[in-house]
Structure 1
Amino acid sequence: MPDSLSQSLAPHLAFLRRYARALTGGQRSGDAYVRACLQAIVNEPGVIDRTVHPKVALYALFHRIWSGTQVGGIDMVDDLTRQETTTQQRLSTMTPESRQALLLTTMEGFSDSDTALVMGTDEMAIRALVADALTEIDRQTRTRILIIEDEPMISMDLSGIVQELGHEVAGIARTRDEAVAAAAAEQPGLVLADIQLADGSSGIDAVKDILAGFSVPVIFITAFPQRLLTGERPEPTFLLTKPFDPRTVKAAISQALFFNSTASMAA
């Protein structure tokens, strides 16, 4: 890969990995698709469209691979576990294009026009796909959600979003100990967790303690996502950036509930 191309794509790789993980439901499968994308570029640098923004071009290539286009003869099947293959099959029956459009416009912050370029369609189609995804969110199974957040205004915002979606707030915890106790008492169906908590404790440690007791999907929230997307250790499947867009939170909740047991901290 030419140095100039590598330099233009490098700032976007951590976010592509986050997107891939949210789309596929796991670290292993998401990273497998990203590796395939990078290998395609190494094999044929011209596969990247140099006439558009590098992030748009990178995600457009990823979309072609995800959609089943064989770039450079890459076969993804052997890289997926049985559980991840099942997740792929579930996605294929539940309009994955709508999920892609929603994630691209919310989690990744693409405009409708750039999302259309990524997905190889037009803006009208993107708006229709997003509308379908939002309708699907409303049909998601209702659950009780534990919020681990030490800033009152943010916890209030998250509570409002949770309730708008028709879910119930199982509790709000400000520290690791409060979070573990609340989870044990309430058995929530989903956890929204900040990384840095009031007493200096870690939301990551709180979630590890919770997951040691029972399986629950988790969405992490942080102002510094790059710190968790290093590729050097197990990473969260769902990771939101502060300050967050309410639509992003809604999309992540929908995805996490869809994947359910595969949506917690990747193993």
Structure 2
Amino acid sequence: MNAVTQAELLRSLPPARRYARALTGSQTAGDGLVASALRGGLPPLPARLALYAGVTRLAPPPAPTPGGGASLSPRHRQLLLLTALEELSVADAATVVGVPLDVAETELAEARDALRRAAATEILVIEDEPIIAMDVRQLVEACGHRVVGVAASEAQAVRLAQQKRPRLILADVNLGAGGDGITAVNRIQRELKVPVIFVTAYPERLLTAEQVEPAFVISKPFEPLALAIATYQAVSSTVPLD
């Protein structure tokens, strides 16, 4: 264990859990990785980087990409998630995965190219703000995915999911007068086991460790690449059971 304080580790746990879940596609597996990293000892780095590095070291290899699409190597995924989802600099991401900066820069370029060629899927967007919904739709369609519906309310989301049977859901948490995105997803998943990415200005509602939590959480405002890599991870690391 390095010399970081317990308070520093506690502050670093939510982002480490988010990263671990995004790597594994599972709350349980991701949290298990964080726990194993803590038990196994962390490298002598600042708390947040040390936790990322501990998780990276223990992360299992990803499953094959469904549909035979372009595949990202484990390090490609790690570098993309660290820089796009966790917003680390390339230098810090290189430190976390244990490669020189020039190697990290080269592999990130390769990863972004592979991401553009990744397997596509059918997506339901749950978002009550029309402009944000349009932006999300344009982004995922630019990544090659097909949006099968855009729901602005809880009731509409449940109805569209039953009708369209999406393979991935992108959901806001706060739907204003239209209800709650978390409740909508819970209702949908009673019938349709499908991976979910929450795109929200309220990530703290989903990172409390007090309930079943999603594997993928992106904070608003988000970088397009962050949503693109989260979409790829959700499609390639989880298999819907409908």
Which residue identity does 2:191 align to in structure 1?
G
8 Å CA contact 1:25–1:262 kept in 2: the answer is: no
Which residue identity does 1:119 align to in structure 2?
V
SS of 2:88's partner is coil
* Count of equivalent residues: 237
SS of 2:128's partner is coil
Q: Hey, what does 1:71 align to over in structure 2?
A: none
Cα separation, 2, equivalents of 1:246 and 1:162: 9
| Deviation at residue 89 of structure 1 after TM alignment | 5.3
| Deviation at residue 163 of structure 1 after TM alignment | 1.3
Which residue identity does 1:40 align to in structure 2?
G
Equivalent residue in structure 2 for 1:237, among 200, 211, 215? 215
Are 1:60 and 2:53 matched, yes or no? Answer: yes
Residues 207 and 245 of structure 1: CA distance in aligned 2, closer, same or farther (over 3 Å)? same
Cα separation, 1, equivalents of 2:91 and 2:2: 28
8 Å CA contact 2:23–2:59 kept in 1: the answer is: no
Q: Deviation per CA, 1:92-117, whole angstroms, max 9, x where unpaired?
A: x8511100000000000000000111
Cα separation, 1, equivalents of 2:208 and 2:6: 17
Q: Deviation per CA, 1:123-156, whole angstroms, max 9, x where unpaired?
A: 2211222223223323322222111001112111
Cα separation, 1, equivalents of 2:240 and 2:27: 10
Equivalent residue in structure 1 for 2:162, among 184, 192, 214? 184
Q: Hey, what does 1:20 align to over in structure 2?
A: 20
Cα separation, 2, equivalents of 1:235 and 1:64: 23
8 Å CA contact 1:174–1:198 kept in 2: the answer is: no
SS of 2:39's partner is helix
| Deviation at residue 246 of structure 1 after TM alignment | 0.7
Aligned positions of 1:63-212 closer than 5 A: 63-66=56-59, 88=62, 90=64, 95-212=73-190
Q: Hey, what does 2:34 align to over in structure 1?
A: 34
Which residue identity does 1:56 align to in structure 2?
L
TM-score by length of 1: 0.81
RMSD between aligned residues: 2.4
| Deviation at residue 29 of structure 1 after TM alignment | 1.3
8 Å CA contact 1:149–1:155 kept in 2: the answer is: yes
8 Å CA contact 1:106–1:245 kept in 2: the answer is: yes
8 Å CA contact 2:4–2:46 kept in 1: the answer is: no
Cα separation, 1, equivalents of 2:49 and 2:208: 22
| Deviation at residue 3 of structure 1 after TM alignment | 9.7
SS of 2:177's partner is coil
| Deviation at residue 227 of structure 1 after TM alignment | 2.3
Cα separation, 2, equivalents of 1:183 and 1:89: 26
Cα separation, 1, equivalents of 2:141 and 2:233: 17
Residues 214 and 244 of structure 1: CA distance in aligned 2, closer, same or farther (over 3 Å)? same
Cα separation, 1, equivalents of 2:88 and 2:4: 23
Which structure is larger by alpha-carbon Rg, 1 or 2? 1
Residues 216 and 89 of structure 1: CA distance in aligned 2, closer, same or farther (over 3 Å)? closer
Are 1:227 and 2:227 matched, yes or no? Answer: no
Cα separation, 2, equivalents of 1:65 and 1:170: 37
SS of 1:163's partner is helix
| Deviation at residue 90 of structure 1 after TM alignment | 4.1
Moved more, 247-256 or 221-230: 221-230
Unmatched segments (≥5 aa) in structure 1: 42-46, 68-86
Q: Hey, what does 2:68 align to over in structure 1?
A: none
